[in-house]
Amino acid sequence: MSGMDKVLDGLDEAQLAAATALNGPVRIIAGAGAGKTRTVTRRIAHACATGAWDASRTLAVTFSVKAAAEMRVRLTALGVGDAVTASTFHAAALHQLRRVWTDVCDAPFPRLVEDARDIAARALHGVDAGVDEDDATVRAVRDEINWAKISLVAPSQVTRVAAVTGRCRPGGLEPERFADVYEAYEREKTARGAMDFDDILLMMCHVMEDCAEAAASVRRSIGWLTVDEYQDVSPLQHRLMRLWLGDNRNVCVVGDPAQTIYSFAGASSYDLLRFGDEFGPLAADVSLATDYRSTPQIVAYANRVLAASPDRGEYLRLRSAREGGRRIERTVYETDDEEARGVALRIRRLVEAGENPSDCAVLTRINAQQPV
């Protein structure tokens, strides 16, 4: 078996179709447990091994440091990990920004602030906002500024956006006062020679839009772009992705509209669902609907839950590749205390029957539900 065949060995029909579509815009809708990372990394390795892509000009971006590290581990095992860049949006943009900074700006490179609560607190204190300046309000202000920046909402647009969305009212602030705090936050940050995480992407967008030579250099370094978890892309990340590409159509996006988890922070599955309208005609549009992780009982229940959604037409109907499992039980309790006692009793019975306690998991929606 050739090395190329080994890279593709073991992929199912849909995974193989995705892994061998190497040119032009490609969308992969990947359900839970459907082998998304396996497919994406095999696709990249196959393209590089056959010479279709230049590994040094191949960029794969995902949302978390952990996911990027996992992708690098898999690409290394496939023989291309040292050459391909797999990182988060922010890490890729920060590397690019550092590389071109001296060519586009005379000022020192800004200091990255990982937690901007102090800056938000100073901004709130400097504006007669008429609200408490406690930790909860400061956090709410910081989070809303983050939301505004990744949603491409400038301080001058806050009032209009608030009227349409109901947002921009953190800690009881009126939108007009929030706009003042937002502006004060930006002034305070600039005075400190600092930038926050959102500024990395915003400044890189500015470079790509206004500095032709630097933008051309960055685009030459990205011949093939893969965007993981595309259902969670923010307007700011989408803008940077389009600027990275320019006229390049070698882009693959991977995601699942049923797994959007960052909508509270401005993300939306809109770009994933409308990818064909934006980039069409597509070279390939593949759905990975076989769940290799979960039992038929779990998959059937997941399908039932998704079928009750008003957005059900956007979701894959999954099928399990596994054989039988335990049936799912659903129990409703009157109070949190009764629920906690019921869960503890169920676990005790399992342990008494010989099950390992470490095989038991209790999931809660928020941390505040756990102490009981």
Q: Measured between alpha carbons, how far is 346 from 360 in angstroms, rounded to an integer?
A: 10
Rounded to whole angstroms, the Cα distance separating 372 from 177 reads: 39
Q: Nearest 5°: phi and psi at 101?
A: -55, -50
The pLDDT tens digits of the residues spanning 40-67 come to: 999 999 999 999 999 999 999 998 999 9
Give the pLDDT confidence score for residue 131 in this predicted structure: 75
pLDDT of residue 70: 95
350-362 pLDDT, tens digit per residue, is 999 999 999 999 9
The backbone region for 229, taken as left when phi is positive above 0, alpha when psi lies in -120 to 50, beta otherwise, is: left
| Run of H or E including 17 | helix 13-19
Identify the residue with better confidence: 324 or 108.
108
Query: Over the stretch 160-175, which tens digit does the pLDDT of each residue have?
Result: 999 999 999 999 999 9
Residue 4 scores a pLDDT above 60:
no
For residues 284-290, average pLDDT:
97
Model confidence over 257-276: pLDDT tens digits? 999 877 766 677 899 999 99
**CA–CA dist 155, 178 (Å, integer):** 8
Residue 324's pLDDT is what?
Answer: 86
Distances in Å between the Cα of 24 and the Cα atoms of 27, 45, 245 are: 10, 17, 12
In 63-121 the beta strands, taken as DSSP E runs, fall at 85-88, 111-112
Q: Residue 1 pLDDT > 50, yes or no?
A: no
3 pLDDT more than 80: no
Are the CB atoms for 317 and 291 separated by under 8 Å? no
> What's the chain's average pLDDT?
94
Question: Any residues with CB less than 8 A from the CB of 266 and at least 6 apart, and which?
Answer: 147, 150, 151, 234, 235, 236
- Looking at residue 216, what is its pLDDT? 98
pLDDT in tens, 76-132: 999 998 899 999 999 999 999 999 999 999 999 999 998 899 999 999 999 876 778
Task: Enter the pTM of the model.
Answer: 0.90
User: Can you list the domains of the chain with their CATH numbers?
Assistant: 3-95+200-288 (3.40.50.300), 114-191 (1.10.10.160), 331-372 (no CATH)
